[in-house]
Amino acid sequence: MDFEQDDEVIDTYIEETTERLDDIEQTILSIHCFNSQQCDELLNSVFRSAHSIKAGANLLKMKNIEVLAHSLENILQFFRQHKRVPNKDAITDLLYGIDEIRDLVNDIRTSNRRDITSAVDRLNALSRYLSRA
């Protein structure tokens, strides 16, 4: 089976990824604390969603989506491990990354041809900042 050409598989991926992006976005916008058990569960959930987006993109050879989802996953890992507490700028950058993935998913057939350099640079800059804990 050629996943790149299977419309049903792609449609399912689009639907599931859109739901996951919505969940990630809502969680990021609604979390007010990052050190309680409930917040840990929410962060683990959004991390797993980013991981699922990345894994599906890898399977379908959607490289740009995979790269951006991996960047989100890396950033979320800092918060899961309590190495950093996200500030307003970090949340803004996370939401930017989510929007970029959403744009790629909305035009999935051309997503591999889009230039994602600025989005990757922005998320990588956030990762570098967070790694200076």
Task: Tell me the CATH number at 89.
Answer: 1.20.120.160
- pTM attached to this predicted model: 0.89
CA-CA distances (angstroms) from residue 118 to 31, 61, 113? 27, 21, 14
Judge whether 49 and 95 are in contact, CB under 8 Å: no
Judge whether 105 and 21 are in contact, CB under 8 Å: yes
CB neighbour class for 49 (10 Å; exposed up to 12, middle 13-18, buried from 19): buried
Judge whether 56 and 101 are in contact, CB under 8 Å: no
pLDDT at 5: 57
pLDDT digit string, tens, across residues 81-97: 876 777 888 889 999 99
Phi and psi at 20, nearest 5°, equal -65, -40
Q: Which domain holds residue 48?
A: 3-131
Q: Helix 7-30 vs helix 88-106: angle between axes, to the nearest 10 degrees?
A: 160
Specify the number of domains making up the chain.
Answer: 1
pLDDT digit string, tens, across residues 9-55: 999 999 999 999 999 999 888 876 555 666 778 888 999 999 999 99
